[in-house]
Amino acid sequence: MSPNAAPTVEPSGITAETGLEGTRASAATPGVVGVERGSGLESIGVVQGVTAPPPPAPAPPVRLHSGMQAPVKTVHVDPIYPAIAQTARVQGVVILEAIIDERGLVKSVSVLRSIPLLDRAAEDAVRQWRFTPARLNSEAVPVVMTVTVRFTLDR
């Protein structure tokens, strides 16, 4: 009868197998007969050659709304009034959109209402501002908010 064939007669009990001479149990797999060390059985369930998935992408910034705790400015840096704008007596308000991350850092700034001679100074100042994080359901979240920078000349 072939060792791979199914039995045709129901066994009367469990008996020790014969014909397994020269095999031994592995120290890594105690009690398993016929498994030699280094057979790979130790690594069953371990996937090799697969890297961990990348961390999840950060949450996109949300527009500031009434259901949120708004960020509070903790560090304010005044803009440096450009000399050419002072000479030309240019003054007014530059309106910017700023993205504040979940740590309260300004990540990006874009101009919504421009005064060309003052835009760059306004952007540079706002990039240095720091905030407490905006919160939504008690969790810090990145936020998009509108900020204004006023330029006035002393008379």
54 vs 144: CA distance, rounded Å:
26
Do 97 and 24 fall into the same domain? no
pTM above 0.85, yes or no: no
User: Does 84 lie in the same domain as 140?
Assistant: yes
Same domain, 117 and 90: yes
CATH number at residue 70: 3.30.2420.10
- 108 lies in the same domain as 137: yes
Which amino acid, residue 9? Answer: V
Q: How confident is the model at residue 32 (pLDDT cuts 50, 70, 90)?
A: low
14 falls within a domain: no
Residue 28 scores a pLDDT above 60: no
pLDDT digits (tens, 9 = 90+) for 100-115: 999 999 999 999 999 9
Compute the distance between CA of residue 85 and CA of residue 94 in angstroms, rounded to an integer.
13
Q: Which domain, by its residues, includes 87?
A: 62-151
The pLDDT value given to residue 48: 72
Residue 119 confidence (pLDDT): 98
User: CA torsion sign, 96 to 144 to 139 to 57?
Assistant: negative
Q: Is residue 10 part of a domain?
A: no
**Tens of pLDDT, residues 42-86:** 666 666 777 888 888 877 899 988 889 999 999 999 999 999 999
pLDDT at 116: 97
Q: Single out the residue in 29, 50, 71 at which a domain terminates.
A: 50
Residue 26 has pLDDT above 50, yes or no: no
Q: Is residue 125 part of a domain?
A: yes
